Amino acid sequence: MNHLLKLLDLRTEEITGILDLADQLKYERKHNIPHELLKGQTLGMIFQKSSTRTRVSFETGMYQLGGHALFLSSRDLQIGRGEPVQDTARVLSRYLDGIMIRTFEQKEVEDLAKFGSIPVINGLTDFCHPCQVLADLMTIREKFGSFSGLKMCFIGDGNNMANSLIVGGLKVGMNVAVATPDGYKPDGAVLEFTKGYGDKFALETDPFMAASGADILITDTWTSMGEEAEKEERKKIFKDYQINRQLLAAANAGAMVQHCLPAYRGQEITEEVFEEHADEIFNEAENRLHAQKAVMVKMMKKD
C-alpha cells in the first residue's frame, strides 16, 4: 500500500491489515509499550480545511511513533497562492517522508500522489473520508468482535462520510443501508461500486426503512464545510433524518451509535441519544489516533 487516497483503492485484506495493526498499537499505547516505528521521519500535514481531530490525532500519532509532524496551512504554502500541485508535490517529496492532506477536491489528493514520490494520506476531501471510516470500522469490530452478520446504517447527507462508509462497510462484509433525501444521494461512482454487492446494499429515502434491523446507526452533520450558505435550507430538508429514540427503536436492541463529530445536538442527533452513546462516540474519536498510526506505519515504515 503506497497511498491512502480512498477506500475504493484498497483490498479487503489491506483494510483488515490496517485494523489489526491499529488494535496492536492501541494495546501497546495503553500498556506503555514504546513503538517508535517512524523514528526520525517527518509528516507534512496540509490543511485547506481546518479540523480538531485530524490535526491533533496525526500530530500526536507521529510523536508517539518517534517522528515529527509539520502543520502546513494553505496560508503557509505557495499552493495557496496558485503554485501548481505537481510542483508542490515534487518539492515536498524531497523534504518529507509522507504527506497528509485535508482539502476540498479529490483530484488534488490524487495529483499529489501522482507527481510526488512519497506516501500521501487523504485526511478528508469532499468525496471521501477514509481515515475516519477506518476508525469507525475499528470501533465497530471492538464492540462486536467481527463484522460478520452486522448491518450498518447511515442516516443523513450522502456526503464524503456516506461514500466511505458504504465502501468500507461492504468491503469488510457488512450489510449497509443508507437513508438520504432525494437529491442528496451518495456519489455516482460509489453507487456503481455497490452494484457488485447485490442485496447487501440498500439506498432509501425513509430513515426507518434503512434503520430497520440495524446493529450500527451512524450520522454526520447536515451541513459540511463549504456548505454554510445552505445551512437553513438543509435544516428543513433533513429534519426527518435524525437519530432519536424513535429511530433507535427500529434498530436492533443494543444498537451502536457513531458520529464522526462535531455533533450538532438537536439536529442530526438528539442530546439524549448522543449522551447515552457518548462512550461509543468518543471511543470512535480516540480510534482516529490508533487507525491513523497504523496507516502511517503501513505506508511510511522503512523495510
Catalytic residue positions, numbered = 102, 129, 132, 220, 260, 288
Report helix, strand or coil for 155: strand
Task: Specify the amino acid at residue 63.
Answer: Y
Which of 73, 74, 42 lies closest to 58, judged by CA?
42
Q: What angle do CA 25, 29, 34 make, to 5 degrees?
A: 90
Q: What angle do CA 23, 161, 154 make, to 5 degrees?
A: 90
Compute how many other C-beta atoms are within 10 angstroms of the C-beta atom of residue 107. Answer: 13
> What burial class does residue 281 get, using C-beta atoms within 10 Å of its C-beta: 0-12 exposed, 13-18 middle, 19+ buried?
buried
Report the alpha-carbon distance of residue 224 to residue 50 in Å, rounded: 12
CA dihedral sign of residues 259, 33, 143, 273: negative
Q: Measured between alpha carbons, how far apart are the two ends of the chain, in Å?
A: 13
What is the distance of C-alpha 164 from the center of its chain?
7
* SS3 of 267-282: CCECHHHHHHCHHHHH
Cα dihedral value 99, 258, 233, 187, nearest 10: 60
CB 114 within 8 A of CB 121: no
